[in-house]
Amino acid sequence: MKGLQAGILAIAVCFSLGATDASSRYNNLNHRLMCTCGCAEILGECNHVGCPNSTGELKELGAGIEGGKTDQEILDGFVVKYGAVVLAAPTGHGFDMVAWIAPFAVFGAALLGTILLVRRWSVGRTAALAVDLDTLDPAERERREQIRRETDGQ
């Protein structure tokens, strides 16, 4: 219970901190870009001492926001200057779309396939059971029903 209280308190405190629009945009955008020095880190998280690129990139980002550019214009500017690898995730265009679609397509197909398979098995099972039950005497049928009732939920 103490842990739960602590968690709730933590969330409440963090939310009370607040953030300005410009700083949240800055934060959001620097997490959508990569540092280009080769460290393979998100721009906003690149912290190695003496990084030759991240400070300049962050300044460019800040200037873009102050200059009134939209998020997309800023990102496009970075892509033109540094190439597509500067974006931390594939875009929603062209072949990049495949990156986003494939996981959900595989998930959907696997889910659907599994549901259909289980349904086919359960329909087959029900049919076999119905045939079985028809041949049972009433006492045996009642005994089975009682077992099912008693074990249900165990």
Partner 1 sequence: MAAFGTIALLIALALAAYNLLAGILALRWIATGQAAPISPERLADTARRAGIAGFLAISAAAFALVWSVFTNDFSITYIMEHSNRALPGAYKFSALWSGQEGSLLLWAWLLAVYGFVLRLTHKTDVKLYAYAGTILAGIQVFFLAVLCFAAPPFALYQGVTPDDGNGLNPLLQYPEMVIHPPMLYLGYVGFAIPFCFALGALMMRYPGEKWIKVTRVWTMVTWLFLTAGIFLGMHWAYAVLGWGGYWGWDPVENASFMPWLTGTAFLHSVMMQEKRGMMKSWNVWLIFSTFLLTLLGTLLTRAGLVSSVHAFAQSSIGTWFVVFMAIVLAVCIFTYVLNRSHLKTEHHLESLVSRESSFLFNNLVLLVACFVILWGTLFPVISEYVVGNKVTVGAPFYNRVAVPIGIFLLLLTGVGPLLPWRAASFKSIRRNFVLPVIAFWVTVIVCLAVGVKPWKDGSLDQGDFYALVAFAVSAAVMTAILGEFLRGAHVISKQTGRNLFSGLWLLTRRNTRRYGGYIIHIGVVIVVIGLAGSAFNRNIESELALHDKMSVGPYTLECVGFSQDSNLNYNSEFALLDVYSGGKKVFQMTPEKRVYLITGQPQTMVAIHSVPSWDLYVVYEGTNPDTGQPIIKAYLNPLVGWIWAGLAVLVFGTLLALVPSLGPATASVRVPLRTGTGATPGEPALKGGHL
**Residues found near partner 1 in the complex (CB under 8 A):** 2-3, 6-17, 31-32, 34, 38-42, 45-50, 83-90, 94-96, 99-100, 102-104, 106-107, 110-111, 114-115, 118-119, 121-122, 124-125, 151-154
Given the complex with partner 1, which of 1 and 139 has the nearer CB atom? 1
User: Shortest distance, CB of residue 64 to partner 1, whole angstroms?
Assistant: 18
Given the complex with partner 1, which of 40 and 131 has the nearer CB atom? 40
- For residues 49 and 104, give the distance between their C-alpha atoms in angstroms, rounded to a whole number: 39
Given the complex with partner 1, which of 73 and 114 has the nearer CB atom? 114
User: Shortest distance, CB of residue 138 to partner 1, whole angstroms?
Assistant: 22
CB-based contacts of 28: which residues, under 8 Å, 6+ apart? 71
Residue 58 phi, psi dihedral angles, 5° rounding: -65, -35
User: Shortest distance, CB of residue 53 to partner 1, whole angstroms?
Assistant: 14
User: Shortest distance, CB of residue 106 to partner 1, whole angstroms?
Assistant: 6
Residue 132 half-sphere exposure toward CB, CA atoms < 13 A: 9
- For residues 104 and 21, give the distance between their C-alpha atoms in angstroms, rounded to a whole number: 32
- For residues 86 and 42, give the distance between their C-alpha atoms in angstroms, rounded to a whole number: 9
User: Shortest distance, CB of residue 73 to partner 1, whole angstroms?
Assistant: 19
What tokens does 125 get? 């099972």
Residue 34 phi, psi dihedral angles, 5° rounding: -105, 155
